[in-house]
Structure 1
Amino acid sequence: MSAYVSAFDLFSIGVGPSSSHTVGPMRAGVDFARRLAASEILPRTARVTCSLYGSLGATGLGHGTPDAVVAGLRGQEPETVDPAAVREAWSHYPEGEPLVLAGVHAVPFGKDDITFEARTRLPGHPNAMTLRAFDEAGSILTQETYYSVGGGFIRRDGESAEVSSTAFPFAYSDAATLLELCDEHGLTIAELARLNEESLHGEAEVAAGLDAIWDAMSSCVNAGLHTGGVLPGVLGVKRRASTIREQLENVESGGHRELPGEWLGAFALAVNEENAAGGRVVTAPTNGAAGILPAVAMYWWRFLADSGLGGGNAVTPYGELVGSALLGFGGEPAEVPDDDSEAIAEANRRRGIRRFLLTATALGSLFKANASISGAEGGCQAEVGSACAMAAGGLTAVMGGTNRQIENAAEIAMEHHLGLTCDPVGGLVQIPCIERNAIAASTAVTAARLALRGDGNHFVSLDMVVETMRQTGIDMSTKYKETSEGGLAVNVIEC
């Protein structure tokens, strides 16, 4: 069975603040409501309840989990819902107002129909929830238990835990096999991922889908850079990305050179402040780590793509500049005026971003299949560590790195996140999560540069590090895995 997970599943457009605590539960609510609507049970349903177990019960309030469940039961999906409609769906639920399941069947509902059972841990996964439908007499008509397994992915109890059942043309189970396949077929990692995607979608659809992911990421960066104020929640955390942007722009307007490293941090802060505010974000591969890949990609887009250092005419993912005709995603001429240098540069940058995202997808699939991308299961090493490795590999790819340099960059990035705990203060995805993304973005750039200075040969393989991360997650105390029962979460006084 292939470890590969489609880019359009790994990078899903949703809402903050958490892929496992917000996006996953919303999808579970949607699935439960749809199952009711597709059966003969819905007309007899007089009440629905939801029990949140383990980590969902422990930090669900801070992560907006009950709001997400209510939105999902209404039939609202994370990809299309207005984020504002989710933020207060449960926390400010109007007393006495019925809940319209799947948008078609109204039942009485109260806030106490969602319960928090943090001390109860189900064996399937630390993030578990059970939805139940009752008839007028109070008898259970049906119930489903869902596991939110990280990155917005969900699994119903009893379903297989297999990562993917799709028969991809280039199936691999580990990094070693991935590199062997690339060698055998003369492919880059991005090209292999693209061919896997095109086995599910057409060439144009893959290109458009990757562009849509990047547009959502860049829009999130831009929104965060231009929004001030205070984040929701008891901590009263002030947003900083907008202030930093203003400071950097003032430096540049004064004639000083750009400060790429400081912009990199600002990009990451911007995304995770948007996430903490419940805004529109892209899971990459989770919401808690959503700022790392967009920040590194934006760093390349703004500072390197047109410099000849891994962009522009020097490295293009699916063709080269021939005279004034730019080859398209799969080799067809792109519709770019031959005298429009800005349009050519823009097209080349987009091609680079596709390569970045596809490379990151191929690497991220390994973490999901062979370890975890869930903070509740593996600690923050599973979220921020995985995202850092994906970003490091993607940057190495667009900087012209070989497949083995890409694998080396991912290994370096993950190796130095081993053992990282998940201990959000107040159960909010704010402290230390927001700054942690900025630090990890910097680590990703450093890992890529180190790998590019080498020849791809290294002592510790990516597979070794992935397995070590898995083992470390098993050994890690539960109080350091998104429960807010240890670490900073208990040593920082909430004021």
Structure 2
Amino acid sequence: MKSIKSLYNIGHGPSSSHTIGPERICLDVLKHYDGDYYKVILYGSLSFTGKGHLTDSIIKEVLKNVDIEFSNDLHIEHPNTMDIIVYRNQEIIGHERYYSIGGGAIRRRGDDWIEENDIYPHKSFEEIKNYCLKENLSLYDYVYHFEGESIKDYLKEVWRVMQEAINIGLHTEGFLPGKLKVKRKAKALLYSQKNKVSIELRLVSAYAYAVSEVNASGGLVVTAPTCGASGVLPSVLYYLKDVYKYNDQMIINAIATAGIIGNIVKHNGSISGAEAGCQAEVGTACSMAAAAYSQLESGQISVIEYAAEIALEHHLGLTCDPIDGYVQIPCIERNAVAAHRAINAGNLAELLTSTSLISFDTIVETMKETGNDLLDTYRETSQGGLAKKYKAKVEKELKN
């Protein structure tokens, strides 16, 4: 498996596969070609939801002199496919096809030079668990052992950016960009005085909304494992620091543990909504947050595994159908719900670990198969589900 640095990318939202990935693709093209004009053709999810995800904006920012075409062709190798044709003095000097494969990672057709070296020798949770038990290591010790001490500094920066996103989101009001006119809610949630609402519900929701609203605005966030799911893990960790007073080093250890869970899903399943629906994004984020919560509250590998399994299991089949392609509805609310589910999964796992019958590896495999069975319309195309219903509602209202 790759370094968890590949999982925890720091970049601008609202979508790791639709903004961070395309930005890196454009920058990679500029390293290899000296063009004076570019034509970009977007396919699949990049085409159907590109405008709402600000894909065209980030491409224009990087390439400058560029025309962008949104293709309806679905006969493509990957749902996030992007062609770049490079011109110099009105002649084509390059034609490359890239894939934005989730979490900001990219691949170029016919070439594997973008691939990073494997850091970890193990490929499944079972293998990792057995190694840790044999060597008397915690999951975060396992990370530090194979990544080296430098990963701790990187995770400190990850935690800093996560906290900064929460603080920015909590102090920003108004509306999110785009035609949906979604009102920012993080600050209102933080200062809500409704007596029947628990402190945990109010604070965790406020923190999740804060990060998700920063992400939806194109602000700086951490993919955990993606931009669209970037509010789940930070909100749980910030709550635990704020209320339970866990220190930063403990939080960083929990982030390392969560990284192993996300890495396993990325390696054996998918973290891309365009490949496997939102179960791959928010479902994985919930699983990572549940593992982090259990690392802090229990520390037992068996509890961590069960918490991660519960969290992912109960997101199976979750579709990715953002309205008008914006990472706003249902994405932001979904981050908050998943954050609470992560805490519940952690608590339930601690009570019932001895009764667990399903391994984490089994649920990852199941999620991948479920994602393959989802119709294309439910995989980040805004062509089905809630997005389709909302579009029909708007069209009906316009006719009347």
TM-score by length of 2: 0.94
> Residue 231 of structure 2 aligns with which residue?
291
Q: Aligned in 2, Cα 1:404/1:457: closer, same or farther, shift over 3 Å?
A: farther
Instruction: Confirm or deny: 8 A CA contact 1:423 1:488 kept in the other structure.
Output: yes
Matches within 5 A, 1:25-36: 25-36=22-33
1:62 aligns with 2:57: no
- Which deviates more, 471-480 or 46-55? 46-55
Structure 1 residue ranges (4+ consecutive) displaced by more than 6 angstroms after TM superposition: none
SS of alignment partner, residue 93 of structure 2: strand
> Residue 470 of structure 1 aligns with which residue?
368
Stretches of structure 2 that go unaligned for 5 or more consecutive residues are: none
Q: CA deviation at 1:48?
A: 1.2
> Residue 294 of structure 2 aligns with which residue?
396
Larger radius of gyration: 1
Instruction: Confirm or deny: 8 A CA contact 1:402 1:456 kept in the other structure.
Output: no
Instruction: Confirm or deny: 8 A CA contact 2:309 2:359 kept in the other structure.
Output: yes
* Inter-partner Cα distance in structure 2 for 1:358 and 1:154: 23
Instruction: Confirm or deny: 8 A CA contact 2:236 2:343 kept in the other structure.
Output: yes
Paired residues, number: 393
Instruction: Confirm or deny: 8 A CA contact 1:11 1:284 kept in the other structure.
Output: yes
Q: Aligned in 2, Cα 1:156/1:186: closer, same or farther, shift over 3 Å?
A: same
1:411 aligns with 2:309: yes
> Residue 83 of structure 2 aligns with which residue?
130
* Inter-partner Cα distance in structure 1 for 2:264 and 2:152: 23
SS of alignment partner, residue 149 of structure 1: strand
Matches within 5 A, 1:165-180: 165-166=117-118, 168=119, 170-180=120-130
SS of alignment partner, residue 454 of structure 1: helix
Q: Aligned in 2, Cα 1:286/1:161: closer, same or farther, shift over 3 Å?
A: farther
* Inter-partner Cα distance in structure 2 for 1:13 and 1:47: 29
* Inter-partner Cα distance in structure 2 for 1:121 and 1:283: 29
SS of alignment partner, residue 95 of structure 2: strand
1:259 aligns with 2:165: no
Q: Aligned in 2, Cα 1:133/1:182: closer, same or farther, shift over 3 Å?
A: same
SS of alignment partner, residue 279 of structure 2: helix
Instruction: Confirm or deny: 8 A CA contact 1:408 1:456 kept in the other structure.
Output: no
> Residue 17 of structure 2 aligns with which residue?
20
1:49 aligns with 2:42: no
* 1:2-57 CA distance string (max 9 Å, x none): x2x32322111111111000110000000001111xxxxx2xx3421111111101
Which structure has greater helix proportion?
2
Q: Aligned in 2, Cα 1:413/1:422: closer, same or farther, shift over 3 Å?
A: same
Instruction: Confirm or deny: 8 A CA contact 2:212 2:332 kept in the other structure.
Output: yes
Q: Aligned in 2, Cα 1:426/1:487: closer, same or farther, shift over 3 Å?
A: same
* Inter-partner Cα distance in structure 2 for 1:234 and 1:173: 43
Q: CA deviation at 1:150?
A: 0.6
> Residue 144 of structure 2 aligns with which residue?
194
Instruction: Confirm or deny: 8 A CA contact 1:175 1:463 kept in the other structure.
Output: yes
Matches within 5 A, 1:327-342: none
* Inter-partner Cα distance in structure 1 for 2:37 and 2:200: 55
Instruction: Confirm or deny: 8 A CA contact 2:306 2:353 kept in the other structure.
Output: no
1:450 aligns with 2:348: yes
Q: CA deviation at 1:280?
A: 1.1
Instruction: Confirm or deny: 8 A CA contact 2:293 2:346 kept in the other structure.
Output: yes
* Inter-partner Cα distance in structure 1 for 2:62 and 2:265: 28
> Residue 320 of structure 2 aligns with which residue?
422
* Inter-partner Cα distance in structure 2 for 1:222 and 1:185: 39
Matches within 5 A, 1:134-213: 134-136=87-89, 138-160=90-112, 164-166=116-118, 168=119, 170-198=120-148, 203=149, 205-213=150-158
* Inter-partner Cα distance in structure 1 for 2:27 and 2:228: 22
* 1:74-130 CA distance string (max 9 Å, x none): xxxxxxxxxxxxxxxxxxxxxxxxx3xxxxxxxxx35xx11101334421x100101
Letter in 2 for 1:458: S
Matches within 5 A, 1:298-317: 298-305=238-245, 311=246
What RMSD in Å do the two structures reach over aligned CA positions? 1.9
> Residue 119 of structure 1 aligns with which residue?
73
> Residue 189 of structure 2 aligns with which residue?
244
Matches within 5 A, 1:78-97: none
Q: CA deviation at 1:411?
A: 0.2
Instruction: Confirm or deny: 8 A CA contact 2:4 2:263 kept in the other structure.
Output: no
**Identity rate, percent:** 42
> Residue 8 of structure 1 aligns with which residue?
5
> Residue 280 of structure 1 aligns with which residue?
220
TM-score by length of 1: 0.76
1:229 aligns with 2:169: no
Instruction: Confirm or deny: 8 A CA contact 2:167 2:210 kept in the other structure.
Output: yes
Q: CA deviation at 1:206?
A: 2.6
Instruction: Confirm or deny: 8 A CA contact 1:401 1:452 kept in the other structure.
Output: no
